[in-house]
Structures are given as structure tokens and as C-alpha cells.
Amino acid sequence: MNAASALVAHLIDLLPTSGRGAPGCRLITYQLTSEDGAIYRALVAKGLRPVALSRHAQAGGARTRVALPGDKIRWEAGPAAAP
């Protein structure tokens, strides 16, 4: 398992034991559609799942200088994750 998938797996494991493991808790991460997504697909058994596709012609938000433009898949895990 590479470092990125190990980190996300560990965060998913911590959800129920952290102070944020309440029913309204969820982990959110994003994948560019230009990436293969192997990191996220490897964690489906842990409850991580794709929940939305967002289309962006350009980067936006508070971190515009570091955000990457392009279509993104939102992945979520936890009790409050979207279906």
C-alpha cells in the first residue's frame, strides 16, 4: 500500500474513535478525473465511495493558487457520507 492510500485508510479507521466520530462525521477527499484513482478504489472495502462529480473549467475557492482545475470526483467515508 502506498503512502497516500495508507494515510486515507488510517483516517477512515480514526473516524469512529475521534471526537469527530459522531453521526454527522465524514471524511471527504477528491480525485481529478485525469488521475487513475487506484488509491481510492483500493479503499472501497473500508467504506470510501465516490459520491459526486464536479466540473470546473478553472480552479476556484479559497486556495485558488494551489487548486487544480478540471473535473473532480468527490469520495466520502463515515456515518454522514452521501449515498
Do 78 and 48 touch, CB atoms closer than 8 A? no
pLDDT for position 30: 87
pLDDT over 90 at 52, yes or no: yes
Which helix (H) or strand (E) covers residue 5, if one does? helix 3-14
pLDDT over 60 at 35, yes or no: yes
Q: Residues of 40-75 as b/e, b for ≥16 C-beta within 10 angstroms?
A: bebbeeeebbeeeeeeeeeeeeeeeeeeeeeebbbb
Q: Please give the Cα distance from 65 to 15 (Å, whole number).
A: 30
Residue 48's pLDDT band (cuts 50, 70, 90)? very high
